[in-house]
Amino acid sequence: MRTRRLGQFSVSESGFGIMSFASAYGVVPDGAESIRVIRGAHGPGLTLFDAAEHYGPWTNEGLVGEALPLARDRLAVATKLGWNIDPEPGELWPGLDSRLDHVSALPMRC
């Protein structure tokens, strides 16, 4: 697969959006199936995954980490963040919050 430079990283030209693995489209797919699909996308060399903290919220980045634990140093997860999300119910509130202290406290794990 062809790659491009993204700052100091080399990533696949094609990226894989993982929005559909959260509740964004209604029903959350089976975790094992989501992991199988992520591994299948990575198999031919895909290294760029597109996420956002409000997918889930805060779940899809961890799903990539769970699916590809041995490839972490060769992956890029582009996460759109700065949303104003209530951490308890995970509900999106109006407005944005991209202050450093907010972003640093996000519960996302890869």
The residues that are catalytic are 55
Q: What element of type H or E holds 12? A: strand 9-12
Residue 52 · residue 24 · CB < 8 Å: no
Question: Could you give the C-alpha distances from 82 to 43, 46, 57, 62, 89, in angstroms and in order?
Answer: 31, 26, 12, 18, 17
Residue 65 in tokens: 């980490």
- The secondary structure of residue 1, as a DSSP letter, is -
Which candidate, 38, 39, 15, 19, places its Cα nearest to that of 28? 19
